[in-house]
């Protein structure tokens, strides 16, 4: 009998086990909440590893710097961050890394920080066999907390935008999809590559949620981002909130030029790295929010039942299968 290795247990089980060393529910969201006398802080850390998350063939160092910041900020937003404070940056570099690469990486960091707020607070560097970027992002918690475990049966599920674009952008950059063969629209191609290289955190959505909440007394609502994929995000909400999610396939928003067929549905549901928000709200609150933002769409609801995701009105004869990316 061999000792367990990480490949055997997988990413989700690894997180569950190490969570036993943390305060209760600390690992159920992507951010830690640190209470202070004046302001409550949200803190998040993400890693990007060369040849796992990026390589020089598919993304420039400037775009990589932008993406490293904005993906961390997306986690802060999905927990209720009202203001970005800044980031600590850890770098692992190979000895033969060119200074030009590092300089362009930091130009990307700076572009994102200038756009969304915050500053570089510090960091560390070391050498290694592959490049690695570690970002620890800090933000201020709003009066309304956004949590994966706050969804309630009867609430409406909303999405802030379209999914699948980042996955398509990656496939195009890797030459796994030939644009000519699929006759993809140029606008869709450009939009997808931009979604992959230059994601935008939904930092304005929280302000709209707060504006729409004036007649509601809730201090927490259900929310997560779709960095791990559309389906996985909804499943995480369902699991942490201990209720069932029902999604209407006919209601999910798609680009007008998005191709039909099961492979394209797989990209949409399980592609990942879209950084949209999935939100759970009472019906009246959801209706007010939709009126305020035309990009926010009702796609389903939560109900009593075992944690699960049911897809209603799916038109293809074969069921979707979960091929979301996992480490190990």
Contact 141, 86 (CB under 8 A): no
Residues 217 and 131 in one domain: no
Residue 319 forms part of a structural domain = no
Return d(Cα 313, Cα 294) in angstroms, integer. Answer: 23
In a domain, 37, yes or no: yes
Domain that holds residue 112: 31-141
- Rounded-to-integer distance, Cα 301 and Cα 245, Å: 6
Q: Which residue shows structure tokens 């939009």?
A: 191
Q: Is residue 274 part of a domain?
A: yes
* Buried b or exposed e, range 92-113, using 16+ CB within 10 angstroms: bbeeeeeeeebebbeebbbbbb
Enter the tokens of residue 65.
């710097």
Asked if residue 174 belongs to a domain, the reply is no
- Whether residues 52 and 128 share a domain: the answer is yes
User: pTM higher than 0.95, yes or no?
Assistant: no
How many domains does the structure of the chain reveal?
2
Q: Say if CB 287 and CB 224 are below 8 A apart.
A: no
Does the residue 43 lie in any domain? yes
Q: Same domain for 135 and 254?
A: no
Neighbours of 274 (CB within 10 A): 27
Domain identity same for 158 and 278: yes
**CATH for 290:** 3.90.650.10
Domain co-membership, 50 together with 106: yes
- What does the alpha-carbon distance between residue 67 and residue 314 come to, in Å, rounded to a whole number? 33
Task: Write the CB contacts of 61 (distance below 8 Å, at least 6 apart in sequence).
Answer: 101, 102, 104, 105, 108
Residue 127 is assigned to a structural domain of this protein: yes
Does residue 276 share a domain with residue 156? Answer: yes
SS3 8: helix
Q: Same domain, yes or no, for 282 and 152?
A: yes
Q: What is the pLDDT along the chain (328 residues), one digit of tens a residue?
A: 568 899 888 888 998 899 899 887 777 788 999 998 889 999 999 999 999 899 989 999 999 999 999 999 999 999 999 999 999 999 999 999 999 999 999 999 999 999 999 999 999 999 999 999 999 999 999 999 999 999 999 999 999 999 999 999 999 999 887 665 577 889 999 999 999 999 999 999 999 999 998 767 788 999 999 999 999 999 999 999 999 999 999 999 999 999 988 889 999 999 999 999 999 999 999 999 999 999 999 999 999 999 999 999 998 766 777 777 677 6
120 lies in a domain? yes
Would residue 325 count as lying in a domain? no
């Amino acid at each position: 009998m061999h000792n367990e290795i990480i490949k055997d247990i997988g990413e989700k089980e690894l997180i569950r086990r190490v969570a036993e060393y943390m305060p209760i529910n600390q690992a159920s969201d992507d951010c830690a909440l640190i209470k202070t006398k004046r302001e409550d802080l949200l803190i998040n850390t993400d890693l990007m590893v060369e040849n796992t998350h990026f390589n020089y063939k598919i993304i420039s160092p400037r775009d990589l710097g932008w993406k490293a910041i904005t993906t961390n900020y997306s986690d802060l937003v999905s927990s209720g961050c009202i203001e970005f404070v800044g980031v600590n940056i850890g770098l692992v570099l190979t000895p033969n890394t060119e200074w030009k690469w590092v300089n362009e990486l930091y130009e990307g960091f700076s572009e994102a920080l200038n756009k969304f707020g915050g500053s570089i607070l510090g960091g560390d560097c070391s050498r290694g066999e592959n490049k690695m970027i570690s970002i620890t992002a800090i933000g201020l918690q709003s009066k309304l907390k956004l949590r994966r475990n706050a969804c309630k049966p009867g609430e409406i599920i909303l999405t802030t935008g379209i999914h699948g674009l980042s996955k398509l952008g990656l496939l195009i950059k890797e030459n796994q999809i030939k644009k000519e063969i699929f006759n993809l629209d140029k606008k869709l191609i450009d939009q997808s590559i931009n979604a992959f290289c230059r994601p935008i955190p939904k930092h304005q959505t929280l302000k709209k949620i707060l504006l729409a909440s004036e007649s509601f007394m809730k201090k927490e609502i259900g929310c997560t981002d779709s960095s791990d994929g559309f389906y996985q995000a909804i499943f995480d909400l369902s699991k942490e909130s201990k209720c069932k999610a029902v999604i209407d396939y006919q209601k999910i928003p798609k680009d007008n030029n998005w191709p039909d067929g099961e492979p394209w549905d797989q990209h949409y549901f399980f592609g990942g790295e879209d950084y949209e928000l999935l939100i759970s709200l009472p019906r009246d609150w959801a209706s007010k929010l939709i009126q305020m933002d035309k990009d926010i769409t009702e796609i389903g609801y939560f109900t009593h039942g075992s944690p699960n995701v049911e897809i209603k009105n799916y038109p293809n004869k074969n069921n979707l299968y979960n091929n979301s990316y996992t480490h190990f």
